[in-house]
Structure 1
Amino acid sequence: MRQGTKNWQALGRLPRGRMNKTEASYAVHLERRKAAGEVAWWVFEGVKLRLADATFYDTDFTVMLSTGELEVHEVKGHWTDDARVKIKVAAAQYPFRFIALKKSRDASGWKVEEF
């Protein structure tokens, strides 16, 4: 690693608030849904949910549907055990619909998993 680079680069992570390619692709998808009137509002990494002492779940996308319902959308290329546990705990504690999305190679665009 070059001097001055951050540890997150070694882990393949981007700094907080910056989308990776999959997240950016999903943001485009959300904008299309917004233009179609299905989504009223969304934010990237705008909500942090407390799960326990010193344990938090940072949402990828918090989405308000046109019906007023709030959903949490987690965009993944690969699941770690820690991430899967956190979303399950968050889904049990908070009254939002939690959805995980993975880029699909077929025409649907996204593989959906609900928690």
Structure 2
Amino acid sequence: MTFPIRKASAQTTVKPAKSAGSGNQAQKRLQALGRLPVGQLNKTEEAYRQHLEARKFAGEIVWYRFEGIKLRLADNCFLTVDFAVLMSNGLLEMHDCKGCKAIFTDDAKVKMKVAAASYPFVFKVAFPVPKSKGGGWIVEEI
């Protein structure tokens, strides 16, 4: 018995099979966009820094610092929030900004909750509102 031989065309593409532990690839791509060297702000962090600067000018904030405080949560487990923010009433807040809610991973949420239970600071997460919807920030307290 013979089988016809079919030549592959130039347009043929082969997609690799997904591995069982590959996870959410879209989420990994979004996270990879924000990975810069320590101390360097990505676009979302820079936009939030400008937001904080405006609040400082308005007198709501006395001081802020990018990646200024590293908190120990357990042995070999730390949390470095994006911004430590000293409010005008003397309250020290820890602000983390994310590009969208989809990239606020369970791991990051757990770390923030553990830190909120362990330290006397207010922990907040900020998400940008698209310019098409008016811009600004959604800030949620942990």
Deviation at 1:107, TM superposition (A): 3.1
- Report if the CA contact (8 A) 2:128-2:135 is conserved: no
Equivalent pairs: percent with the same residue? 55
Q: Deviations over 1:3-55 (max 9, x none)?
A: xxxxxxxx331000000000000000000000000000000001000000010
TM-score, with length taken from structure 2: 0.71
Deviation at 1:108, TM superposition (A): 5.8
Find 1:81's aligned residue among 106, 121, 131: 106
Find 1:33's aligned residue among 40, 55, 61: 55
Q: Deviations over 1:76-108 (max 9, x none)?
A: 122122111101110111111101000012336
Larger Rg: 2
Q: Distance in 1 between matches of 2:65 and 2:127?
A: 18
Q: What is the CA RMSD across the aligned residues, in angstroms?
A: 1.4
Indicate the SS of the match to 1:18.
Answer: coil
Whether 1:70 aligns to 2:95 is: no
Indicate the SS of the match to 2:111.
Answer: helix
Corresponding residue for residue 119 of structure 2: 94
Find 2:128's aligned residue among 95, 98, 103: 103
Q: Distance in 2 between matches of 1:114 and 1:108?
A: 19
Whether 1:55 aligns to 2:82 is: no
Corresponding residue for residue 16 of structure 1: 38
Indicate the SS of the match to 2:38.
Answer: coil
Gaps spanning 5+ residues in structure 2: where? 1-31
Q: Report the count of equivalent residues.
A: 106
TM-score, with length taken from structure 1: 0.87
